[in-house]
Amino acid sequence: MATQVFKVPDTFRKDFKYTFCPGCDHGVAIRLVAEVLEELGLQENAIIAAAIGCSVTIYDFLNIDALEAPHGRAIAEATGIKRARPDKFVFTYQGDGDFASIGLAESIHAALRGEKISAICINNTTYGMTGGQLGPTTMLGQVTTTSPTGRNVEYYGYPIKIAEHIALCDGTAFSARVSLDSVANIKKAKQAIKKAFEVQLKGLGFGFVEILSGCPTNWRMTPEQSHEHVRNEMSAIFKPGIYKDITAEIK
The binding site for another protein (CB under 8 A) comprises 1-8, 12-13, 17-18, 20-28, 31, 43-47, 49, 56, 59-60, 62-70, 72-73, 76-85, 88-89, 105-106, 108-109, 113, 183, 186-187, 216, 223-224, 227
> Measured from the CB atom, is 43 or 147 closer to another protein?
43
* Identity of the residue, 163 or 180, whose beta carbon is nearer to another protein in the bound complex: 180
CB of 179 to another protein, least distance (A): 13
Q: How many Å apart are CA 82 and CA 21, to the nearest integer? A: 33
- Report in angstroms how near the CB of residue 247 gets to another protein at its nearest: 25
CB of residue 156 vs another protein: minimum separation in angstroms? 25
Q: What is the largest CA-CA distance in the chain?
A: 63
Start-end of H helices in 85-215: 96-97, 104-113, 153-156, 162-167, 183-201
If the CB atoms of residues 113 and 239 are measured against another protein, the closer one turns out to be: 113
CB-based contacts of 92: which residues, under 8 Å, 6+ apart?
48, 49, 50, 51, 74, 75, 78, 99, 117, 118, 119, 120
Cα gap 36→195, rounded to integer Å: 10
C-beta closer to another protein: residue 39 or 247: 39
Q: Which helix (H) or strand (E) holds 78?
A: helix 74-84
At its nearest, how many Å lie between another protein and the CB of residue 199?
Answer: 19
Which residue, 6 or 155, has its beta carbon nearer to another protein?
A: 6
- 219: part of which helix (H) or strand (E)? helix 216-219
